[in-house]
Amino acid sequence: MIRPESLQYLSVDRFGTDPFVSRLLLSALNCGLIDRLTQTNAVDEKSLFAGLPFDECGRKVMIDTLKLGRVIEGDRGEGARIRLTEEFRGVLPFLELLHVRLRFAELVASDFFTQTDAWLISNDAFMSKSRLFEYFDYRRCLEVTSENCRHAARWMTLTTVLTRYEAPVCCDLLDFGQFHRMLDIGGNSGEFAVQTCQRSPGLIVEVADLPVVCHVGQQHVQSCGMSDRVTFRVFDLAAEPVPEGFDLVTFKSVLHDWPDGVVSDLLERVFAALPPGGTVLIFERMAYDVGRFSVTFSQLPVALFLRSYRHAEFYKRELERIGFAMTSVTEFVLDVPFSLITARKPV
């Protein structure tokens, strides 16, 4: 069962709805305005903006908009005190996540608003025009250079923070303590691996990813004090045999990136590598309907990949075709629908 505390992070979404308010909130986060407000009970306007380059009009727009968005409250004018609303104080434990989601949305917004028609035509049409894919360019993850590491570290901050809040849900739904050696394919910075290890003291994890990602990930895992249990292996999931010696192989938010043929082939290679009784796990956003989950500003990055998300049925069908025995298909809603799918190689 998902613990209620694992879902509390979803409360940040209410501050990412309106594009104008959300974008100004991002500026307020970027320039340290929100930090100043968190450090005090209430502050006057002059102290709040001290040292910031906004003119009188800019300050007024900022104040009015943050009030409109229920981020702050208080009067304007000489001596008036401004404070965070109780509602916004409620999301302070997740401020890092809110900041990352708004940064990510800003990153994709220019692509979305300038290339909307291409996006409506097809993924390929959109990708050929979009600048987002330069940012997440996996070709720059093959050769470990300081420039490539700096580039990857920037986008890995986004994926790491998103995973920090999604991983606990997966750990609530599955007891990772029943496994001994886990291989997390496309495991990025190792954040998911770190969290599974924290919840299951007997588990050790190998993260399999591209060379630059492994290099940057090692530093992240080291900073979490988990280097003895989370290690990295350079691996190309599109081509190489899946390494043996693991009783659990996981894919968290990875398979939607790949066409059906690659996914089927990869799952076949996982089957070949697992020992009898070994488990494969898929934790992914699922296909969803924007009529039911309307797209807010902070949801833009998820919505842009709408076509890539599949129905759980696809994975179930492929796993059974390959010879796996299904052990669970759990469907639930976080920001959008997700599934946790597990299957076992028969003994």
Ligand X SMILES: C[S@@+](CC[C@H](N)C(=O)[O-])C[C@H]1O[C@@H](n2cnc3c(N)ncnc32)[C@H](O)[C@@H]1O
The answer to whether the beta carbons of residues 190 and 217 sit under 8 Å apart is: yes
The answer to whether the beta carbons of residues 90 and 9 sit under 8 Å apart is: no
Kindly report the three-state secondary structure assignment for every residue of 116-179: HHHHHHCHHHHHHHCCHHHHCCHHHHCCCCHHHHHHHHHHHHHHHHHHHHHHHHHHHHCCHHHC
Angle at 239 between CA 306 and CA 284, to 5 degrees: 30
Q: Which is nearer to ligand X, 34 or 185 (CB)?
A: 185
Q: Which is nearer to ligand X, 62 or 156 (CB)?
A: 156
Residue nearest to ligand X (CB): 186
Q: Which residues pair with 282 in a beta bridge?
A: 251, 341
Q: Which is nearer to ligand X, 69 or 187 (CB)?
A: 187
- Minimum distance of ligand X from residue 46's CB (angstroms): 42
Helix, strand, coil percent values for the chain (each to nearest 5): 55, 15, 30
Count the alpha carbons within 13 Å of 167 in the hemisphere toward its beta carbon: 22
**CA 79, CA 143: separation in Å to the nearest integer?**
56
Tell me the two tokens of residue 264.
Answer: 């089927």
The closest of 246, 186, 187 to 220, measured between CA atoms, is: 187
Q: Which is nearer to ligand X, 109 or 237 (CB)?
A: 237
Q: Which is nearer to ligand X, 130 or 253 (CB)?
A: 253
The closest of 112, 147, 143, 104 to 129, measured between CA atoms, is: 112
- Minimum distance of ligand X from residue 267's CB (angstroms): 14
The answer to whether the beta carbons of residues 158 and 103 sit under 8 Å apart is: yes
H or E stretch covering 101: helix 95-114
- Minimum distance of ligand X from residue 87's CB (angstroms): 29
Site residues (CB under 6 A) for ligand X? Answer: 138, 141, 159, 163, 186-188, 192, 209-210, 213, 235-238, 252-254, 257
Q: Which is nearer to ligand X, 76 or 154 (CB)?
A: 154
Q: Which is nearer to ligand X, 62 or 255 (CB)?
A: 255
- Minimum distance of ligand X from residue 158's CB (angstroms): 9
- Minimum distance of ligand X from residue 239's CB (angstroms): 8
Q: Alpha helices of 246-311 — where are they, by DSSP H?
A: 260-273, 300-304
- Minimum distance of ligand X from residue 173's CB (angstroms): 15
**CA 323, CA 346: separation in Å to the nearest integer?**
8
- Minimum distance of ligand X from residue 273's CB (angstroms): 15
- Minimum distance of ligand X from residue 257's CB (angstroms): 6
Q: Which is nearer to ligand X, 176 or 192 (CB)?
A: 192
Q: Which is nearer to ligand X, 168 or 186 (CB)?
A: 186
Cβ-proximal residues to 343 (8 Å cutoff; 6+ apart), any chain: 279, 280, 319, 320, 324, 325, 326, 327
- Minimum distance of ligand X from residue 142's CB (angstroms): 9
**CA 252, CA 261: separation in Å to the nearest integer?**
18
